[in-house]
């Protein structure tokens, strides 16, 4: 019950000039609205990474929570939320990453990953790779091992995969240009 790249692309809405002029926003909400397509996307990620037997799935705020939570449920493993700075209620560890307009941070609880735990990182979209690389550093800082990094969409023209070259990276739908 896989899903093809063409089927995914048909359910992604492209919105020009959002959030600013010159940006083509890839809106995943039509895909999420299609329950069967959403199920097939999560199953496809499970097919790609499930054989590696992760202990946990780390989802990156916010849309990575949607995919990551569903994938963790399907695989029967723990879910770890990686949140923007200041959103988690207990002791955290933080990794910063650079955006084109400044520096942002990502946090997880200090007990989110145990030593030697095998973690799959999931987010909706791979652009420049900074956020996913920060998530990988968080896992490793806590003693875990990154099994792979999975995305629904990859923007190839931003070369984010280069920042993740030390990891097994999978994307289900790729865009070569805006």
Q: What pLDDT, on a 0 to 100 scale, did the predictor assign at position 77?
A: 98
Q: What pLDDT, on a 0 to 100 scale, did the predictor assign at position 100?
A: 65
User: For residue 9, how far is the Cα from the chain centroid?
Assistant: 17
Q: Which of 11, 26, 40, 63 is catalytic?
A: 63
Domains with residue ranges and CATH for the chain = 52-175 (3.40.50.2020)
pTM as predicted: 0.95
* Cis previous bond, 169, omega within 30: no
Q: What pLDDT, on a 0 to 100 scale, did the predictor assign at position 178?
A: 75
Alpha helices in 50-142 (DSSP H): 63-75, 130-141
Q: Which of 6, 91, 100, 165 is catalytic?
A: 100
Angle at 49 between CA 43 and CA 50, to 5 degrees: 70
Percentages (nearest 5) of helix, strand, coil residues in the chain? 35, 35, 30
Return mean pLDDT, the chain: 95
89 to 49, 106, 108, 159: CA distances (angstroms): 30, 14, 10, 34
For the question of residue 95 being annotated catalytic, the response is no
Low-confidence ranges of the chain (pLDDT < 70): 1, 100
150 to 49, 89, 161, 169: CA distances (angstroms): 8, 27, 11, 6
Helix axes 63-75, 35-49, angle to 10 degrees: 70
Q: Phi first, then psi: what are they for 174, rounded to 5°?
A: -120, 140
Q: What pLDDT, on a 0 to 100 scale, did the predictor assign at position 98?
A: 85
């Amino acid at each position: 019950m896989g899903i093809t790249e063409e089927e995914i692309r048909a359910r992604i809405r492209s919105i020009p000039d959002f959030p600013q002029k010159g940006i083509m926003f890839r809106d995943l909400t039509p895909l999420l609205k299609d329950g069967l397509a959403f199920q097939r996307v999560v199953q496809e990620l499970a097919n790609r990474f499930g054989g590696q037997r992760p202990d946990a799935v780390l989802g990156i705020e916010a849309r990575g929570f949607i995919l990551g939570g569903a994938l963790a449920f399907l695989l029967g493993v723990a879910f770890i939320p990686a949140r923007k700075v200041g959103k988690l209620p207990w002791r955290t560890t933080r990794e910063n990453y650079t955006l084109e307009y400044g520096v942002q941070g990502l946090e997880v609880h200090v007990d989110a990953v145990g030593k030697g735990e095998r973690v799959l990182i999931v987010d909706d979209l791979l652009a420049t790779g900074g956020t996913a690389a920060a998530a990988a550093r968080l896992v490793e800082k806590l003693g875990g091992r990154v099994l792979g990094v999975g995305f629904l969409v990859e923007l190839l023209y931003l070369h984010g995969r280069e920042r993740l070259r030390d990891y097994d990276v999978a994307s289900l739908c790729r865009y070569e240009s805006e």
